[in-house]
Chain A
Amino acid sequence: MTFDSTVPSGSYLNSLDEDATAKLARALRAIFPHDALAEGPYLRSAEAIAANVSGSPHQLGVVVEGIRSLEALVGGDLTAITIDDLSGILRHLQQTEFFQIMLTSTVVTLYSDPEVWEFLGYEGYSSDKGGYIDRGFDDLHWLPEPRITEYEGDDELVGYVPPVPGLQVSFDNTKKVATI
């Protein structure tokens, strides 16, 4: 998009500015509310959306207008209502393109964020740390140690004798075999 000096610069939507990105992050928190999670991951997810839509004038417009109309609905300030109230408003908008852009992008970026991994107790990359063989792959102790070998009794799961031409075969239960 080239700059046309005859039009006030505010008439162009080039990208989401910092203020709009912060508002977007607030909406993302209302979609995936984790109260104890810091703002960083939500901001990074908002920035990812900003980067994605910057290549699409249509999507950029959808997001910019989406934020503006959301603000209008809540009376101007997204931080003036609770996250749960904001979620309740978004519930009515979930079929809109604006909401779907936020949802489909953020479910990927938020839960791929190492800060979120740590928050959830997921330890992330392990191959370069020698795996978990010495780091707790079997440290669950609130249940008894299970058998790891296969059951040594008869195989009762095979209730079928291969057919012989002319033979009637029925399978009312696993134990039943062919009968003539």
Chain B
Amino acid sequence: MSAIANDEDAVVIVGSGAGGGTLAYELTSKGIPVVVLEAGPYIKNEDYTNDEWEAFTRMAWTDNRTNSGSWRIARDFPNLPAWTVKAVGGSTSHWSGATPRFKPHEFKARTAYGHVDGATLLDWPIDLPEMARWYDKAEIAMGSTHRHGRKPLPANNNYKVLAEGAKRVGYKYYATGPYATNAEEYDGRPASIQDGFNFQGDKNKSKWSTLVREIPRAEATGLLDLRPNSHAAQITHDARGRADAVLYIDENGAMRRQRAKLVAVAANSIETPRLLLLSASAMFPDGLANSSGHVGRNYMRHLTGSTFAQFDQPVNMFRGETMAGVIADESKHDTSRGFSGGYYMETISLGPAFLGKFLDPGAWGRGFTSFMEGYARTAGLWIVGEDLPQETNRVTLNAAVKDQHGLPVAHVHYDDHPNDKAMRDYAFAHTAALYESVGATRHYSTPPYPSTHNLGTSRMSARSEDGVVDKWGRAHDVPNLFISDGSVFTTGAAANPTLTIVALAIRQADYIATQLATGDL
């Protein structure tokens, strides 16, 4: 690791997950030294555990947060609006691995869906043809199955139920991927041993994460100064309004100032706007890069839900790759279903510990325990669809509640849009029918978990009044400030977001390197 002095003007990246970790690797591989400030510890693959709650305790971002709104999370998990990771590698260390691309129209949702009351739909300033080559690079980096010559994963038990149900209800677009976990050795990492643990981190390193690929490769360049346990507290600026440093709390609890010539924020879509809002100053009284008022707004978390169904025969859904099973048929935009946008269905498995907690939070008694007793005969799928941006779905600072560093915590407000409700109701009914077609005797419609896909709070826009960053993720208001995570999503699409975050980060690195080389930054 190369040490970069605090008083040296550095390229500073906040966060080491899909966006930050990728950006760090891409920049260092181009010869650009970077400082990465990571709020969490350096947890390696061998440190992971297969115990769900123990893993959650070690890995999850459990710093205090508050939330409100009509979503059930506000009642069931009042201090846990999101389930993300606080560690080197960020949430790529617990993601499951599904890598669908956006569809062409999902980059143009305002045009495609038209005006929708209550929604702040906007077209992205980029489109799929422009993104295609970056998607290629991201899929090759991540080793997506079914792409670029990568073999598909075999069918596990949970997939067998999903796929046969899909076939019987008339779906066609089902497969065991694309999925960023090796079916055979690739890129120096081994094939999956079908151990069934993803949300707890993959001890076997078969699953792509920035922890197994980008971070060690960036370290190998000798140009990465990775600082774990370093919590960014404020981005400061000079008299011209350019970012000039990041104040952060180091591993010993001391406040430090890292001078910066460029700052890229990739702290996930709750912490990123929180940091911008915490960086308010006399020149930027509403928060840094917030002249539009959009910082923190348009928070999206995907329409989600799970269907767990039980059969007379054993399934043992927990054996094998958790999410290596995708049905894409409902990911189209077809308003005859009564809603705009679409959704995917992907296999999911929870152990008894998490199933007990999340199946129907607060449930107890024989109805609940009899379902738990059918655990080995249970199959599960996750519904992941596009939720619509709304300006009142929003991350703000809660001045009344402070974190362990004395900083105001993030407050997340979320109400379902009627479109979200219509899609979820439709998806629950149709996934239940899918499982009934293969003999399900009972099912649960499980409400959304604390959000794993957090998007949109610093959105990309062509015009500076409509969003926070431009088509490169560069802040409209601050020329040397970039956002490099899912916060930049103008709209959410139905696809799991990690692939798109990585593709955007690779593209952004290319742009930043060019700008630095030509002296435009």
Contact = CB atoms under 8 A, between A and B. Distances in A.
Contact of B318 (A32, A103, A123, A150): A123
A126 interface: yes
A127 B369 contact: no
Contacts of A107: 356-357, 364
A108 interface: yes
Interface string B41-77: 0000000101111000000000000000000000000
Contacts of B155: 138, 145-146, 148
A150 B163 contact: no
A147 B155 CA distance: 8
Contact of A169 (B111, B160, B176): B111
A16 interface: no
B193 A140 contact: no
Interface string B141-166: 00000100000111111011101100
Given A87-B365, A111-B372, A138 B335 contact: no
Contacts of A157: 103, 173, 328-329, 331-332, 342
Given A111-B353, A120-B352, A151 B173 contact: yes
A126 B194 CA distance: 9
Interface string A125-164: 1111011110111111011111111110100111111110
A125 B51 contact: yes
Interface stretch (B196-204, B267-275, B420-428, B455-463): B196-204
B336 interface: yes
B126 to A, nearest CB: 11
B318 to A, nearest CB: 6
A132 B159 CA distance: 15
Given A32-B369, A131-B194, A149-B146, A126 B50 contact: yes
Interface stretch (B238-246, B256-264, B280-288, B309-317): B309-317
A86 to B, nearest CB: 11
A122 interface: yes
A174 B341 CA distance: 11
A139 B320 CA distance: 11
B362 A103 contact: yes
Contacts of A111: 351-353, 355-357, 372
A158 B103 contact: yes
A3 interface: no
A124 interface: yes
A20 B162 CA distance: 47
Q: How large is the interface on A (under 10, 10 to 19, 20 to 34, 35 or more residues)?
A: 35 or more
A159 to B, nearest CB: 6
A60 interface: no
A151 B318 contact: no
B332 A122 contact: no
A173 B332 CA distance: 9
Contacts of B251: none
A110 interface: yes
Interface in B195-213: 195-197, 203-204
A31 interface: yes
A143 B438 contact: yes
7 smallest A-B Cβ distances: which pairs? A160-B105, A131-B193, A121-B376, A146-B163, A131-B195, A111-B356, A137-B320
20 contacts: A31-B365, A32-B368, A34-B373, A84-B366, A87-B366, A116-B352, A120-B372, A121-B314, A127-B195, A127-B197, A146-B159, A146-B163, A149-B175, A150-B146, A151-B174, A160-B112, A171-B112, A172-B336, A174-B332, A174-B333
Interface of A: 31-34, 84, 87, 91, 94, 103, 107-108, 110-112, 116-117, 120-128, 130-133, 135-140, 142-151, 153, 156-163, 169, 171-174
Given A111-B353, A171-B112, 17 more contacts: A32-B372, A33-B365, A111-B355, A121-B314, A122-B352, A131-B195, A131-B204, A132-B193, A132-B319, A133-B192, A136-B316, A139-B316, A148-B155, A148-B175, A148-B176, A150-B146, A157-B332
